[in-house]
Structure formats: C-alpha cells, structure tokens
Structure 1
C-alpha cells in the first residue's frame, strides 16, 4: 500500500513539474524578446550534401523558426554532393523569412557553392574557396546536355536571387566561360578564393572566426545556439550517401538470393537483411521512405523465411524478393514526387 502511495506521489510530482516547465520556458523566451536580445542559430553544412543533410537542415530551420531566431548561419565545409538534395535545401532557404548567412570555413564546392548563392550573405574565412560546380553523373562523367542546361539555369537563378553577377556562377559550372579579369586558367571551372569572391561581389566580408563574423553582422551580444547532428541523423546521412545507397542495395539483394540457394539461414541472409534494414531505416528517418516501404520489406522478409523452412518450389522466395524490390521502388517513387 505504501509503495503504491509513493508511486502516485512521484507521478503527481512529475506531472506538476512538467506543467510548470511550459510557462517557465515561455517566460524565458518572452524575457529574451522583451529585452531585444537576438538569437543566432549555427547550422553545420559539412561533408557530402545528401538527403540526410537535407533532413537535418529542415529540422534545424524548424527549430530556429520556433525559437524566434533572428539569423541563421550556415557554417560550410563541403565538397558538394547530390543535385536533388541541394535543390531542396535551396528551396528551404528561399522559403525562410529569417536572414540566412553562409560562413565558408574551408570549402563551398559544387552543390555547396549553389547552396551558398541562395543565402542572403556570404562570408568567407581567409584561405576558403568556393566554386567548381559542374554537374556529373554517378560514374564521374559530365552529365547529359539537358541536365547541364538545367543546372546552369539553376546557378544563374541562385546568383541573381541576391543581386550577384551571374556570369561568375555560370563560370563555376561551365569551363567554356573565360574570365580574364580573374586570371582564371582557361578551360577550367571557376573556383574563387576569399579575396576574389570579395572582388566580384560573391562575398560580403572575410572573417577568421565567429567573433569576427558576429562583429561584421553587428551581433556581438546575440545569444548563440549551435545545432548538432544526432546519432540517428548521422546514420541517416551515411546510408543516404550517393555512394553508399547502391552498395547497400547490392549487398542486400545478393545476400537474399544466395540465402535462397543455401540450406538453413546463415551469413548471406544476415548480411542481406542487415544491409536492407540500414537502407530503409536511414531513408525512413530522413523522411524519404514511408511505412509502405517498410511493410513491403517485412512482408518480403517473412516470405523468404517461409521459403527457407517450408519449401515451396521457390514461389515464396521469389514473392519475398519481389516485395523487397517493390519496397525499394516505392521509396524511389516517393523521392521522385
């Protein structure tokens, strides 16, 4: 009886504290807003640009808007990445009313340069570079003419969005454009240094650190919040990497096919299931695969298990592999939408 009373007491106390924290949090925000204190959100844009980064940035922007941030600063160091992810990130920036500033800490190459051009201001660290934004296919070759034309128009639009001369953005994506005033090597894609970016109006300032950046923005007394990539988001970023996706799908499909022709359930099946679970988990967490994909995967897995333990002349196994492949296609269809 006494134990039950203590449980009720602690439960009641927990509920009361939770209710008290809500107005307390609101009061803290209200005090900050009343005092005129500005809030800055730092969002890291690092490593390869892929769908996992897109999901992380969407969460970060949502947090910044909810908390009433006055500025969002993208701390950038990326060699580029997927065109579709870069396009969605650019749309996220364009639809945000909060001023967005890119701080290029080291590199803003390819998709990174495109994302930076969509922001309101660009500040670069000494020695940082930005450019070299040609679009290539999965084999590393120049993309087809239709894709190139689309990408050039996107680079032009991104530059014009904030009043920047588009010829330099086009030169980043097309090596046929000659810019003698920058002494750029002929036949190479344009990559701007911090000083060159200042010269052509592609950077508003050069700052060695956050202190100098905030001094330029006149935000020395602002409250600073730094977004962190969660463990789950790190996994999602890894499995949505353009190089990792085909590897996981290959291991998954080969493992399941080998398992069908092996007695019992062994290493190939474990490897196949693990690879596909990683694939589906990463894409579900990033928001690019729905429950229909996971349901098809589970159904396919169960059918393969039935084939292993209840021989059905391969029918259950084929249906299982078909369901799993259907889950993959369902995911790809969701991405195209």
Structure 2
C-alpha cells in the first residue's frame, strides 16, 4: 500500500510540469480611455485568478487619455502575472499612449509592418500655450523614462518619442532596444518567449508558453458601452440632448417623454464627463448659451440675445475638454461643434419660436374663437337678445346699451355660453 502511494505521488510530481499552461489573451483595438483601462485591469485579475502563465495584449491604438494610460501602466507594472504586449496585426500602430503601454510590458513584441511612436502630448483641441505645453511634455518625458528604466529599455528614444514625436518601424524598434522581438504570428511569439525569465511584482517567473492553451476574453457590455460613451463627441451630444429634454419638460409639464429622454441623456453625459478632462467653464457657457436662446424667444432684443447664445454655445463647446496634456485622439470634432451650434440656433430661434407664437395665436375653435368675430343682431339687444354668428343663433348681451335689430355686432367676451357684444363700427376708408 505504501509503495502504491509513493508511485501515485511520483506520478503527480511528473504530471504537474506537463500540465498545460493557460494564457489569457485580449484584443485592444481602440483608443485608450477609462473603458480600456478597466478592461485591462479585469484581464490582469482574470489571469491572476486562473494562474495563467501570462496575459497577452494584442495592441492597435492611436493613443488616448493620459490619465487612463497612467492607470494601465500602473496595473502592468504592479501585475503579479507577466504581461506580453504584441503590436499586431500588420499595419497596426502603437501611437501616443500605446508607446507607454508597450514599453511598460514585461515582454514587448511587434508584428512585421507595424510601427510605434509619436507620443508627444497635445491638448484636446490640438493647441496649448507655451507653459502648459512644456509642463505636459516634461511630465510625459519623465513618465516614459521611468517606465524604460524599470524594463531596461531605451529611455532616450522614449524621450524623443515624447518631445519630437518620432516613430519607428518594428525592425528599428528592435535595433533601438524599444521592443524585445519581432514575431510574424501569435504562435511564433509564444514559441520565442517560451522559457524567458521576467520579473513581476511577486518575484521572478519563467514563461511556459510553447504548448499553452489560449483563452480569449472580450469586453463586457458595460465596458463596450463606456468605450462608446468615452468619446467626447458622444458625451457632448448627450449633454445637449439631455439639456434640451429637461428644458422642454419644464416648458410643457406633463409631456413626460422629453423629461425621460433628457434625464437619461443627462445622466449618461455626466457619467461620461466624469471620465474626461472637462472644463466646467465651458460647460457653464453651454448652459448660458441655451438660456440666452430661451430669453430671445421671450424678450424682444432684436436678435442680440440670440447672437449672444450662439457665441456662448460656440465658445463653451470649444472649451469643453480641458487642455491637460491629453492626446489628440481625445478631441471634440469641429464638425460636431459647428453642426450642434447651427442646429441648436435654428431650433431655438425658429422651431420653438414658431411654437410659442402658435400658443399665443387666437384659438380656432370654441367660445374663445368667437372673440373679435362679427355677427348680426336678430332682435333688439336691450341688453339681452339673439345674434347670428357663423350661421348659428346665439344668446347675446349688449355691453354698451341698446343695439337695434339688424345691426352688426362684434363679440368682446362670453359668460356661460352667452356672448357679450358691442356695436360694430365700420372702419373709415
């Protein structure tokens, strides 16, 4: 019995190294934003929970938000599981934020026909003043140098990528010690990194990837929605729709539908703006512009309030995303801004204006519609009698003394289905 037990223990000891390892794989083909940061964080946690030999990130990004990039880099540097970043497929690009993520990886690889670089920070509108530009550039330079020093990569090139927006092909990146290897396929990559030693937050580990099984995980629906909402253009449009919906509900209490849609859009917009570098002065200018449009409808200003609303909405839209060193992919499209301002201006100054005029117009039906109409007295009004209005006979009371039979009268009011009339004076020629 003891011999059988020893054989069983020996068999387990032999079988354990032969047990197939697992690799968690994700595909990141998007801008870097809070959604992608959450996705990578979840992938690292999944890899740790499932004791994967590594996390493989197939990267293709033009860049994104600096704040989200710092979160991702921090997760990778502190990861207890080796992270392999593979810029692929051919034609893919690790730009701006992608440079930081690639250089932070324990193993950095690129596919043939890919490139990396152009990491100079700019404002969301493409321009910053000299002081802000210098601060953002120096901050990003120090950031990438610290990453390169941690991974033993080319810190000087990283600084050049930030300061001068230089880029490299995959072969140049390998020659300049920016990446570790070039692999034409995922299988070639896993074969080449098999047996490599890497240092993670918990110590040194050896990669066992040659015969490992690959488990791919995708973004959850919440992450996908946040990824869409993280687009500043979407957040801007949602905010305007939410603002308009709530205003329409206040103007027409009980309409319900505008209030519901406006509330949903406003909540989504505020949630999205929480993840973006929003300038609250720009937000205030947008709200002020809409208020000026409403005042233009109510107050006769000969167009001054309307012009002020257009200017305020335009300036607020331009200032909405704060210039804090984000990359150019996180900008607010000029096409969206101009379209939103034009549509908003036309809508408020024409559509709502016409609607309010219609509300103030004379009623077309009912007793209110009779006011100002001209009829004929069918009997003497002293003060009561009957008149013919629109081919109908109505009871009427004279408000200005005796009115003979057969005289034209004009309706000035009504009381309990009895018309109040006065003599009609023909306009002089």
Pair in the same fold by TM > 0.5? yes
Per the alignment, residue 204 of structure 1 pairs with 180
Return the match for 1:160 from 149, 154, 161.
149
Q: 1:44 aligns with which of 22, 27, 30?
A: 27
Aligned mate of 1:234, from 224, 238, 262:
224
After alignment, is 152-161 or 59-68 more displaced? 152-161
Q: Which residue of 1 aligns with 2:167?
A: 191
| Alpha-carbon displacement from aligned partner over 1:112-166 (angstroms, at most 9, x marks no partner) | 1111111112110101111101112221224532222211111111222211121
Within the candidate set 88, 111, 120, 2:106 is matched to 120
Distance in 1 of aligned mates of 2:219 and 2:251? 41
Residue 215 of structure 1: aligned partner: 191
More helix by share: 1
- Kept in 2: contact 1:235–1:282 (CA 8 A): no
CA distance 1:256–1:97, change in 2 (3 Å): same
Counterpart selection for 1:173 from 155, 162, 180:
162
Q: Which residue of 2 is the match for residue 103 of structure 1?
A: 86
Moved more, 98-107 or 260-269: 260-269
> 8 Å contact 2:235–2:272 — kept in the other structure?
no
Unaligned runs of 5+ in 2: 1-12, 195-208, 276-429
Bigger Rg, structure 1 or 2: 2
2-structure distance, mates of 1:197, 1:100: 19
Match of 1:68 in 2: 51
TM-score, normalised by the number of residues in structure 1: 0.66
- 1:78-157 superposed matches below 5 A: 78-105=61-88, 106-142=92-128, 144-157=133-146
Choose the corresponding residue for 2:246, options 252, 256, 274. 256
TM value normalised by structure 2: 0.53
SS of residue in 1 equivalent to 2:44: helix
Report if aligned partners of 1:41, 1:69 keep a CA contact under 8 Å in 2: yes
User: Aligned pair count?
Assistant: 244
| Secondary structure class of the residue paired with 1:108 | strand
Question: How far, CA to CA, are the matches of 2:177 and 2:15 in structure 1?
Answer: 35
Separation in structure 2 between the aligned mates of residue 148 and residue 215 of structure 1, nearest angstrom: 38
Distance 1:123 1:280, change over 3 A: same
8 A Cα contact 1:107 1:130, kept in partner: yes
Query: What is the deviation of 1:278?
Result: 3.2
SS in 1 for 2:123: coil
Q: Report the CA distance between 1:267 and its aligned residue.
A: 5.6
**Aligned mates of 2:273, 2:18 — CA distance in 1:** 42
- Greater strand share, 1 or 2? 2
**Once the 2 structures are TM-superposed, how far is the Cα of residue 35 of structure 1 from its aligned partner?**
3.6
1:243 is displaced (CA, Å) by 3.7
Residues 285-324 of structure 1 correspond to what in structure 2 (within 5 A)?
Answer: none
